[in-house]
Amino acid sequence: MSSNRTAHCCCGALNVQTTGAPELVAACCCGECQRRTGSIVSVSGYWKRNNVVTSGSAKRYLRKGHGGRDVELYFCPACGSTVYWLLPDLKPEWVAIAAGMFGDANFPRPSMSVWEKTKPDWLSIPADVHLDGQPQEV
Ligand SMILES: [Zn+2]
Ligand SMILES: [Zn+2]
């Protein structure tokens, strides 16, 4: 059964529609994700590009990932929310979308958690989600 979802920025001008389940859902506590979100942990969903349609104008912020690879962040020029990003060097066929932009408490749970060395002690990650010591661009 196909499930469609819509993510949008704070003001609603930048929208992303997805078809089907995400290929991957991951949690990350790296400093880059913390600054991107303003939160201590980021949860991201990844879809194949042909299952994603974006609408509305976006500005791009290009940064280097932890391994020196490009990370292309797309954010709403009106409200500043980063809604989605591309990992052209690591997963060129994927689009990453910030899970919180879906505003859906039933969003699929993460299957992996990375960068736990910068995770605060008070935040518990379920035991089956840990991925110890393998930083990735998420
Ligand atoms: Zn906006
Ligand atoms: Zn991260």
Separation of alpha carbons 27 and 31, rounded Å: 13
pLDDT, tens only, 106-130 = 999 999 999 999 999 999 988 888 7
CA of 57 to the centre of ligand 1 (A): 9
CA of 1 to the centre of ligand 2 (A): 31
Where residue 64 sits, what CATH number does that domain have?
A: 2.170.150.70
Would residue 134 count as lying in a domain? no
Give every CB contact of residue 65 below 8 A, 6+ residues apart in sequence: 32, 71, 87, 89, 90, 137
CA of 138 to the centre of ligand 2 (A): 5
- SS3 at position 44: strand
Domain count, the chain: 1
CA of 6 to the centre of ligand 1 (A): 14
Would residue 136 count as lying in a domain? no
Q: Which ligand is nearest to the CA of 82?
A: 1
Would residue 46 count as lying in a domain? yes
Domain that holds residue 45: 4-129
End-to-end CA, the chain:
27
pLDDT, tens only, 85-96 = 999 998 999 999
